[in-house]
Amino acid sequence: MVNRKIVGAHYGLKDWLAQRITGVVMAAFTLVVVVALLQGVGASYESWRAFMASGLMRFVSFLFIVSLCWHAWVGVRDIWMDYVQPAGIKLALHVLTLLALIGYAGWAAQIIWRL
Amino acid sequence: MMTTRTLQFKIYRYDPDKDQKPYMQDVAVEVDSTDRKLLDALVKLKAVDDSIAFRRSCREGVCGSDALNINGRNGLACLTDLASFPDDKPIVLRPLPGLPIVRDLIVDMTQFFKQYHSIKPYLVNNDPPPERERLQSPEDREELNGLYECILCACCSTSCPSFWWNPDKFVGPAGLLAAYRFIADTRDQATNERLDNLEDPYRLFRCHTIMNCVDVCPKGLNPTKAIGKIKDMMVKRAI
């Protein structure tokens, strides 16, 4: 194969946009949790559990986890793209990152739904 | 009355024909009150030691050939005031970072211009040209202000970490500013092709809004803003 630098993958906009949107979702979730903590929800295990087990919190904390993983996927892949040049190593790192994030997302979902 | 002042320099020297590796040379040069800019001192320096190589041409911030790394910051020697340097510290001059060195302060700009050419820096309009000129409204023309003034000195692109890591794939701030100059031009008919050409995780999306480009631009331009506008147009096109 000739060694030519080729670019023009025709993607990137969705990832960039997703990174911004997931950032907003995470910021909003953080705000909700901070307000809840200021109101003393974290005073006991029971009150914290009751707070996190409500239908709305299950919904938004799941959204938060999905956002976190998606955001991390774009961000971590950006790091590999910036600093890792050999294509084989880069692909391997991408795959490992993706697998780890999917695993974490599943694990986190199990924890939320166990409540 | 003519007052003189002695300036201490630390200059990056490298002649690939003679030197094993680059080194920093200490030189002193005497300037008088008519020497206003760093370039004036460099020209005097050349009289002291004619082996030192640097590019220069118009000496008034238009040609963009004397871009250097001055005390760690990219800028044009011809626009940098000598009065801005304190007496007690040497002025450290290095070539623009991230590009191959030809000799001393001269860098190989091939990669930089390759990226510039890749965005097709010319008007694409397939309509037959009118008798006199393609007209624009004053409002449409206003859009090009802050874009067309770029002198391609490479201060911005060579201060951009994303360009350091991927100079062969990331267009860089100078190229993207020029790209938006044609995207924003109402006389241009290739907007979609231009956006297609840039929609790539490397070509455009290596920009992480670090904004070193805005910080160093000797013409006071804002490539980050132009890049943001390109992204805006892509979003509007996609949704």
Burial A93-105 (b: 16+ CB within 10 A, else e): bbeebeeebeeeb
Q: Give CA–CA dist A29/A37, Å, rounded.
A: 12
Q: Between chains, do B201 and A81 touch, taking CB under 8 Å as contact? A: yes
* Residues within 8 A of B (CB atoms), A 40-99 only: 78, 81-83
Label residue A76 by pLDDT band (50, 70, 90): very high
pLDDT, one tens digit per residue, over B175-210 is 999 999 999 999 999 999 999 999 999 999 999 999
List CB contacts (< 8 A) between A11 and chain B. 199-201
pLDDT at position A113, please?
A: 83
What SS3 class is residue B101?
strand
User: What local confidence, expressed as pLDDT, does residue B1 receive?
Assistant: 60
Q: Is B104 exposed, middle or buried (0-12, 13-18, 19+ CB in 10 A)?
A: buried
A115 part of contact set with chain B, CB < 8 Å = no
Question: Looking at this predicted complex, what is its ipTM?
Answer: 0.88
Residue A11, chain B, CB below 8 Å: the answer is: yes
Segments of chain B scoring below 70 in pLDDT: 1
Crossing angle of helices B172-183 and B191-198, rounded to 10°: 160
**Number of CB pairs < 8 Å for A and B?**
46
pLDDT tens-digit map of B41-63: 999 999 989 999 999 999 999 99
Res. A1 pLDDT band, cuts 50 70 90: low
Tokens of residue B118, six digits: 């890749």
Q: What per-residue confidence (pLDDT) applies to B177?
A: 98
